[in-house]
Structure 1
Amino acid sequence: MPSAGTAPRRAAQLAALLAMLAFFAAQFVGALLPQAALLIVASTAGLALDLYLQHRDPGLLSLLGKIRFDVMVRQLLRDVLILVGLLRLNSDNSLRGYTTVVSGLVLFYGAHLACQALAIVVKRTRTLPFVTRNVDTDGLHLTAAPPRLLYRQHGRRLLRFACAPTTGLLLTVATADTVWAETGVAAGVLLAVAGTVHLAGWLKPEKRIADEKQALEWLDRWLADYKPTVGMYFSGGTTSAYQANMWLSTLAELDGRPVIVLRERFMVQKIDATDVPIVCIPKVVHLMALEKSTLKIMLHPANSGKTSQVLRMPSIKHAFTNHGESDKLSSCNPYSKAYDEVWVAGPAARERYQLADIGVEDKDVVEVGRPQLAPILPCSTTPPGEDEYVTVLYAPTWEGWDGNPGNTSVMLAGENIVRGLLADPKVRLLYKPHPMTGSVDPRAGQADERIQAMIREANSRRGGPRPGPEAAAELARRAAELQALTTSSFRDSADEIERMLLQSTPEPGRAAGVADATAAWETAYWASLPEWEHQIITDARPSLFSCFNQARLLVSDVSSVVSDYLISEKPYAVANTSGMTEDEFRACFPTVSAATILTPDASGIADLLAAVRDPARDELAAARSKLKVHLLGPSDPPSLVRFNRAALALAAEADARQARMAERASAVPAPREAVEAGQPG
């Protein structure tokens, strides 16, 4: 769903494109009439607009590139029109040095193209077959990147260097003195040549990094020295990094030597703070280096098209951990049978796989709990006081890919749910929609906008005391601390190689420091908010788990949010927008068996809030406690302990297979031995 500011932004973009075309048209008219003032104003305005858009909206200019009206064509057209104007203004051949100016412009554009060609060569020499983080890169001869204006900003480089020739040409238009044009063109040529020479310095031996062969040999040596035993494999899009990030702390706590294996280069910087070594290997041919390593098991938090490329390695055992469990079909994907084992939280998921009948054998399902849920606090035994606000979290999921109206409550029930909660003067609502809401069905995005408008309007009618300035100051201090820990300190010119160099060694305890700083920020965040004010939470922080700890009641949909919230044993409600009866809904989705079921009209909100305020009316407390164990497994031994045991057991299976393979290989005579023994080879 496009955001509320999308329409004005698109209007501004259209206006910018029309203005650029208008400036070119005005240039054309000014050159042909000829009209010096019009030519100067249109040329200057066109160049200024192009420079502005290169900085503020390069994506818009990329659209022009698709129709072959890229920055090179635009600037060349701009200069050609000025030259035409010069000829028309001086048709009596009174203009001297015209040939020199044209020749200089040809040299300028030639030098620019040479710089661009050199930038491509330098980029290729600075591209390794892999990317690393938290890995000592000594031996790869990594160096700092060239200035990005020369190296990566083709359009900005051309326009900035072209300012001198274009300005000189326009001054000649105004004065009929070619000295200005000759000076400007000479300055442009010098800039372009100097940039090219400077960029060529990165092809010198002392600045060249390892080539592909040397890099791959280095990777083999690093794997042999580090001896990884357990890895997490991840491949996904730009918004999917959270699926891997949720497993970082668990991976770091496992016995053995962990490593994170990625497939997309951009993903390296999207992984949160961790001390675990990260290796990104984009090409499958290079990925095979892992087969020769000491890796025994690979954990998979998500399925992807590239997963099959690592599953073909028989020396590694593979376990599917998923990134969340729910009653949706996506939690029982038939692809799961490709893994050696499927690790689930508790008995409910085991039953789900058997009922789905997708080929996953029961012996391959291992219950490990959900180690990530440790930050979620248990239910408070003290009921809210009469004057205390009841915090309710409404966290609907998104609409999904299959068009099922029961996937999300936002469209059919969201406004009724929020209206019912806002009607209670002692309810404080936290609204945290799924970040992908509206990405498939625009109606979900439109409903989300209406819900947010309702909450803002409700806040405008409320009032009460606000925390003092010291709370805001504390939040600002904690935010600065967190930003200092999580914001990269890379130069603007830093490229992939320079970031590898700077991130070669993790700061000791940085991951723990970020976790502590995040917790401190969340504490300060909640303390800075009035207890009566409803909140719309669409940023990554505060986290969903932090919202869980603030809420006494959750309203959600059939999703992993419900399963995770159950660790607290606090009351929850699930909206039924599937069209099923309540009995059918409970039978189809075991995670809602201990929930209050809300119909699309949300008529049960008042009774639900009454049960939260008076524990004696909470008839589902025992059911939640039982369902928690069914969904997430027992609390003893702790989930992390069970997870680690599962990892060690699967690693032992990998060792056993390797031993069997070695035994079989030793029992088979080599071809030469077979020939010497008189046996057929």
Structure 2
Amino acid sequence: MPATPRGATFRRRVRSAGGRIIRRFGLLPAGTPDGRGEDAALLGTSWPYEVLVYFADTPEALYQLEQWYEALRALDAAHPVVVVTRDSRTAAAVRRDSGLAVRTVAHYTTLDDVLGRSTTRLALYVNHNPENFTCLRFGSMVHASLMHGDSDKVVTVSNQTKAYDFSFVAGQAAVERMARFSTLYDAHARCVPVGRPQLDAQLRLRAETRRGPVPTVLYAPTWEGGQPSAEYGTVASHGLRLVRTLVESGRYRVLYRPHPLTGVRDAAYGDADAAIREFLDGAEAPAGGSPHATDTHRDVGPAFAAADLLVCDVSGVAMDWLATGAPIVVTRPAGAAVIAASPLLDLAPALPVAGLAGALDLVDRELREDPGRDERLRLREHYLGDTAPGAATRRFVTACEDLMTVRDREVARIGRELSR
């Protein structure tokens, strides 16, 4: 029997009330924004922000945004910045930790209304969340992808990059990577090298830190990736065996820094991560050295400051480590992930699963002899640009200002076209 209008209205009200209860008490699937926005208060208003950072994710992905806080604060000092979220829990964390203005907008119509009344000129994005298209629709702003690290992963040349007007990249290596492996994309015109502003604070901390007499090996693997073609992680294939070998040698302190998303897609990664943590908790410290440890600090800076050598996967951690000038070993994944040739991967010693039996000898040699040091230091500028203190932050702010000038010119041009 057809539903009566009154019955249909009742069911809509029930669904709406149920949705409010689910959002209110956080009973949502992982990764789903709670949609508890400030829309009612924002409608009919304008805001003074020149720069909008759009972040549609839930709190577990905040590591992508957190690394940009210091650079965004520097930008905010000259050009007011607002972080726009779609999740009230995310907004609370950003408001607490960033020192930036934050607004939670659940509905596209609210963003349309506010931006129509405001003079926001630049939108920035730290990931490729499909929800970014909610904000990318606005032609009144220039849109730039920041991402949350530079690496030789195939995902760094994702076709999604084409959605943005420009992409901020770390250095010339990223431009060349995009030019080589992207189709129908003018990397030299649309990629803007700005360095890695995050390294300014990390290098300061490393310069101030005294490392002990027992060398520290930092093992910082990535997660399993969102799909098998991006499975660069080695926690399950290498992790425990590698860590056990280094610890039982008695020659090194091991610092393990897992990726925050380890195990979210593949339970084997979560199990391996738990096994490594448990082993390190019970391991005896090397004679004269600090205890072995698992580092889950939000900022990678303290781990970088403490380490003498890095073992990592094909990931953004490898690029950032270049700034330290210290030795690096890069694992090779056991799965089907695509690994393209690159200057760093050609230079850095590789550690495949089949090479784990020789891992200790490899670490010994790299710390004792460091045969790739001179070439690695030359690569530092190629990948990261100028790593002098503060240089990358200045380049970032200047690049944002340049894009706002581009926006003003384009908006004026379109205005002239419309007035014809």
- Give the TM-score band, short-chain normalised: 0.7 to 0.9
Matched, 1:268 2:107: no
Cα distance in 1 for partners of 2:145, 2:197 equals 15
- Per the alignment, residue 312 of structure 1 pairs with 137
Matched, 1:660 2:418: no
In the TM superposition, residue 624 of structure 1 has moved relative to its aligned partner by 1.5
- Per the alignment, residue 203 of structure 2 pairs with 377
Residue 438 (structure 1) aligned to one of 252, 259, 263: 263
- Per the alignment, residue 536 of structure 1 pairs with 294
Q: Deviations over 1:577-632 (max 9, x none)?
A: 3479xxx96x5354423322113142343333334553xx1111112212211211
- Per the alignment, residue 324 of structure 1 pairs with 149
Matched, 1:631 2:394: no
Q: Which residues of 2 match residues 197-208 of structure 1 at below 5 A? A: none
SS at match of 2:263: coil
Q: What letter corresponds to residue 569 of structure 1 in structure 2?
A: G
Q: What letter corresponds to residue 302 of structure 2 in structure 1?
A: S
In the TM superposition, residue 266 of structure 1 has moved relative to its aligned partner by 2.4
- Per the alignment, residue 113 of structure 1 pairs with none
In the TM superposition, residue 230 of structure 1 has moved relative to its aligned partner by 1.6
Residue 552 (structure 1) aligned to one of 300, 308, 313: 308
- Per the alignment, residue 607 of structure 1 pairs with 361
Verify the 8 A CA contact 1:376 1:568 in the aligned structure 2.
Answer: no
- Per the alignment, residue 228 of structure 2 pairs with 403
Aligned CA distance change for structure 1 residues 406 and 604 (closer, same or farther; 3 Å): farther
Q: Which residues of 2 match residues 354-433 of structure 1 at below 5 A? A: 354-362=179-187, 363-377=189-203, 388-404=213-229, 407-433=232-258
Matched, 1:284 2:38: no
Percent of aligned pairs with the same amino acid: 30
SS at match of 1:239: helix
Q: What letter corresponds to residue 648 of structure 1 in structure 2?
A: E
- Per the alignment, residue 574 of structure 1 pairs with 330
Verify the 8 A CA contact 1:558 1:591 in the aligned structure 2.
Answer: no
Residue 67 (structure 2) aligned to one of 246, 262, 268: 246
Cα distance in 1 for partners of 2:201, 2:163 equals 32
Cα distance in 2 for partners of 1:129, 1:450 equals 38
Q: Deviations over 1:280-322 (max 9, x none)?
A: 2110011102143111111111122221121111110000010
Q: Which residues of 2 match residues 159-308 of structure 1 at below 5 A? A: 212=40, 215-217=42-44, 219-220=45-46, 223=47, 226=48, 228-254=49-75, 255-271=78-94, 272-288=96-112, 289-308=114-133
Verify the 8 A CA contact 1:594 1:627 in the aligned structure 2.
Answer: no
Cα distance in 1 for partners of 2:134, 2:290 equals 53
Aligned CA distance change for structure 1 residues 284 and 457 (closer, same or farther; 3 Å): same
Q: What letter corresponds to residue 540 of structure 1 in structure 2?
A: H
SS at match of 1:603: helix
Verify the 8 A CA contact 1:437 1:445 in the aligned structure 2.
Answer: yes
Cα distance in 2 for partners of 1:463, 1:430 equals 12
Q: What letter corresponds to residue 74 of structure 2 in structure 1?
A: E
Q: Which runs of 5+ in 1 are unaligned?
A: 1-115, 133-211, 466-530, 669-681
Cα distance in 1 for partners of 2:130, 2:71 equals 25
In the TM superposition, residue 410 of structure 1 has moved relative to its aligned partner by 1.6
Matched, 1:647 2:400: yes
Q: Deviations over 1:475-524 (max 9, x none)?
A: xxxxxxxxxxxxxxxxxxxxxxxxxxxxxxxxxxxxxxxxxxxxxxxxxx
- Per the alignment, residue 152 of structure 1 pairs with none
Q: What letter corresponds to residue 660 of structure 1 in structure 2?
A: R
Cα distance in 2 for partners of 1:454, 1:327 equals 31
Verify the 8 A CA contact 2:81 2:101 in the aligned structure 1.
Answer: yes
In the TM superposition, residue 431 of structure 1 has moved relative to its aligned partner by 1.2
Residue 595 (structure 1) aligned to one of 342, 348, 356: 348
Residue 453 (structure 1) aligned to one of 253, 271, 278: 278
Aligned CA distance change for structure 1 residues 353 and 463 (closer, same or farther; 3 Å): closer
Which segment is superposed worse, 311-320 or 257-266? 257-266
Verify the 8 A CA contact 1:391 1:429 in the aligned structure 2.
Answer: yes
Q: Which runs of 5+ in 2 are unaligned?
A: 1-16, 25-34
Q: What letter corresponds to residue 318 of structure 2 in structure 1?
A: V
Q: Deviations over 1:225-275 (max 9, x none)?
A: x2x212211111231122122212211212322222222232211215233
Q: Tell me the TM-score normalised to structure 1 length.
A: 0.52
Q: What letter corresponds to residue 363 of structure 2 in structure 1?
A: L
Verify the 8 A CA contact 2:334 2:352 in the aligned structure 1.
Answer: no
Verify the 8 A CA contact 2:36 2:88 in the aligned structure 1.
Answer: no
Verify the 8 A CA contact 2:253 2:286 in the aligned structure 1.
Answer: no
SS at match of 2:203: coil
Cα distance in 2 for partners of 1:291, 1:392 equals 52
- Higher share in helix: 1
Verify the 8 A CA contact 1:320 1:339 in the aligned structure 2.
Answer: yes
Q: What letter corresponds to residue 374 of structure 1 in structure 2?
A: D
In the TM superposition, residue 444 of structure 1 has moved relative to its aligned partner by 1.8
Cα distance in 2 for partners of 1:405, 1:335 equals 15
In the TM superposition, residue 129 of structure 1 has moved relative to its aligned partner by 8.3
Verify the 8 A CA contact 2:217 2:252 in the aligned structure 1.
Answer: yes
Q: Tell me the TM-score normalised to structure 2 length.
A: 0.82
- Per the alignment, residue 8 of structure 2 pairs with none
Q: What letter corresponds to residue 337 of structure 1 in structure 2?
A: K
Q: Deviations over 1:632-654 (max 9, x none)?
A: 11236811111112111110011
SS at match of 1:436: coil
Cα distance in 2 for partners of 1:644, 1:559 equals 25
Q: Which residues of 2 match residues 502-517 of structure 1 at below 5 A? A: none
SS at match of 1:434: coil
Aligned CA distance change for structure 1 residues 455 and 404 (closer, same or farther; 3 Å): farther
Cα distance in 2 for partners of 1:318, 1:654 equals 9
Q: What letter corresponds to residue 294 of structure 2 in structure 1?
A: I
Q: Deviations over 1:326-365 (max 9, x none)?
A: 1112212211111110110001111111122243312011
Q: Deviations over 1:534-582 (max 9, x none)?
A: 1123x335x32211100001111011111111111111111123479xx
Residue 131 (structure 1) aligned to one of 38, 41, 61: 38
Which structure: larger Rg? 1
Verify the 8 A CA contact 1:393 1:551 in the aligned structure 2.
Answer: yes
Cα distance in 2 for partners of 1:130, 1:431 equals 38
- Per the alignment, residue 187 of structure 1 pairs with none
Aligned CA distance change for structure 1 residues 635 and 446 (closer, same or farther; 3 Å): closer
In the TM superposition, residue 130 of structure 1 has moved relative to its aligned partner by 4.2
Aligned CA distance change for structure 1 residues 532 and 660 (closer, same or farther; 3 Å): closer
Cα distance in 1 for partners of 2:403, 2:99 equals 24
RMSD of the alignment, in Å?
Answer: 3.1
Q: What letter corresponds to residue 632 of structure 1 in structure 2?
A: L
In the TM superposition, residue 383 of structure 1 has moved relative to its aligned partner by 12
